[in-house]
Structure 1
Amino acid sequence: MSLSTGARLYNCEVCGYSCNHSCDLKTHTGERPIICGVCGKAFKQSGHLKAHMRIHTGERSFKCDMCGHAFTDIGNLHMRAHTGERPYT
């Protein structure tokens, strides 16, 4: 959003939807311009492709300190399995 005018910077050419961030407009339109060269899967952001490429390369950068199991994504790191933590129950 423009701080001086309050105008939204990104507008849908089809329906007039407006938003402040280009990623929000891509979500609205369904645009996924970044394509994986290996499998053809499409992404909205280059960072998502970078994370996806770990599937193809086998890179597992996130390692559990307790058991040594490695993961492609930090969100999959399973520390709660070792600590017994159950914050959502």
Structure 2
Amino acid sequence: SNLNIHLLVHSNEKHFKCSVCNKPFSRKSTLNTHLLVHSNEKHFKCSVCDKSFSHKSTLNTHLLVHSKGKHFK
């Protein structure tokens, strides 16, 4: 069930291992997200500069570089 899958997050058990770097994960979905790090796929492009990222969260963090100091006047 979904609850049993969710409970794995709170345990120390990590049954899913990255085949590239052997990093362990408790959820298969997290492993799949991690695998993007090892690929050259970068689907998230910055609209301000030419940089691209594997993860949307990394792009969002990067975008702060362009807006730094613009929130406060």
Q: How many residues align?
A: 68
TM-score normalized by the length of structure 1: 0.61
- Local SS of the residue matching 1:32: coil
Equivalent in the alignment of 2:31:
49
**8 Å contact kept, 1:23–1:44:** no
Query: Which residues of structure 2 form unaligned runs of 5+?
Result: none
Matches within 5 A, 1:31-50: 31-50=13-32
- Paired-residue identity, %: 31
> Displaced runs of 4+ in structure 1, greater than 4 A?
none
User: Using CA pairs below 8 Å that are at least 6 residues apart, which structure has the higher relative contact order?
Assistant: 2
Quick check: which has more Rg, 1 or 2? 1
Mapped contact 1:32–1:43 kept (Cα < 8 A)? yes
How far apart are the structure 2 equivalents of 1:75 and 1:64?
Answer: 12
TM-score by length of 2: 0.71
User: 2:48 — aligned with what?
Assistant: 66
Alignment RMSD = 2.2
* 1:25-84: CA deviation from partner (whole Å, max 9, x where unpaired): 223331111111122111111221111111211221111011020112111112221122
State the secondary structure of the residue aligned to 1:21.
Answer: helix
CA distance in 1, matches of 2:10, 2:35: 25
Q: Could you say which residue in structure 2 is the equivalent of 1:25?
A: 7
Unaligned 5+ residue runs, structure 1? 1-8, 10-19
